[in-house]
Structure 1
């Protein structure tokens, strides 16, 4: 099938607009919400930052696929590609941190019913840093796709991505250690998803939803651990991963599962479920979707080693 190798450059050109335009829009919305003292607008801003953080994953992955498509071309400088790759990793890191911070603020405010000024400031600062790194990444990306900009372009790679790749491939215990951490993270994440989802579907009805809600940060931490270790795997062997038929569906279901978690974090209809009460139909549909999506991530992830060198 080779989804990423054949369509990576085109998908990347589409996806990379979301972090840039989205960050500008959401930062403006967040600042406006503070000026207008509008809590709903502020909440929407934080949700959108979480969505942007999730969208950064396929954006980065399709960027790697695009890099492999351009690599080796006589009119392409390896130095420019490496510099763009390093800048993209920094941008991915900061927009991901912004998404994590935004989710934590949303969870804390919903859990304790009070706003967090420190959290707001942290999200604002991370959002600005993310925007700066995205602009730099986009500038370097422009020199990749536009030949007229390459002439005389000064791009010095930091060696960040290459350093991570070399370290993982040269340290004998690096890969198995990350595999162990990745498996534990997935087990914790899927366990939290099952506990929350089954409660919503009617199992253990004597437990109010607010009681299982406190497990969500544990699941979010496990997701963060898996994203970090997963990206290390990807950086160390990106050429093989982008050629695997099972890799695109894993990423697609990961996006669905990540977006579904937002519903269980903040929406009032699920929060209103008390002891011995049945959850609304919409909540049950979301619970089933969340469990199915993370089961799909788990299955496709375990199948990846069997794809060998790719589809």
Structure 2
């Protein structure tokens, strides 16, 4: 399997994984279930690790599409910048989750405040990764670009 294909397979994990972890953590905090909270924190750690090959495989994917269209250069640059920022957020979320997981297992004081902080941070990471996905989708999916898609559908004669 080539790296461009790998990128297309992996790039959904940081988005959907951060959403899944966020919802799981919210449920765990609501129910005060340490096992559910631990599962959510572990999810963030795994997703942070998966984010690295998703990001690195983007370089090869860039070389596949950069010559197809001049407009792609702008879109690729926007996606690259967002992805780099998103990667750092995901890595920080994974590291913070590792610390929170250790603190949760060891039943440290004030761990709930830390877990709520992770939940807020995971929301920011999810929103950022969603933006990364949108910018990546614009490269090959003209139907979601601001100048295309639904705007053009409204101009179709009835």
The TM-score with structure 1 as length reference comes to: 0.45
Aligned to 1:77: 72
Aligned to 1:59: 54
Residue 23 of structure 1: how far off its partner (Å): 1.2
Alpha carbons 1:81, 1:144 under 8 Å: kept: yes
Alpha carbons 2:38, 2:104 under 8 Å: kept: no
- Are 2:43 and 1:12 aligned? no
Determine which of 115, 118, 122 is the counterpart of 1:127. 122
Tell me how far apart the structure 2 counterparts of residues 46 and 29 of structure 1 sit (CA, whole Å). 9
- Are 2:25 and 1:30 aligned? yes
Structure number with greater Rg is: 1
Residue 152 of structure 1: how far off its partner (Å): 2.5
- 1:1-311 equivalences under 5 Å are 7-74=2-69, 76-110=71-105, 112-114=106-108, 116-150=111-145, 152=147
Unmatched tracts of structure 2, length 5 or more: 149-158
1:69-123, CA deviations, whole angstroms, 9 ceiling, x for partnerless residues?
A: 212223542111100001111111111111000001112333x433612320221
Provide the aligned length of Structure 1 versus Structure 2: 147
In the TM superposition, structure 1's runs of 4+ consecutive aligned residues that sit over 4 Å from their partners are none
Residue 39 of structure 1: how far off its partner (Å): 0.8
The TM-score with structure 2 as length reference comes to: 0.84
Larger RCO: Structure 1 or Structure 2 (Cα < 8 Å, ≥ 6 residues apart)?
Answer: 2
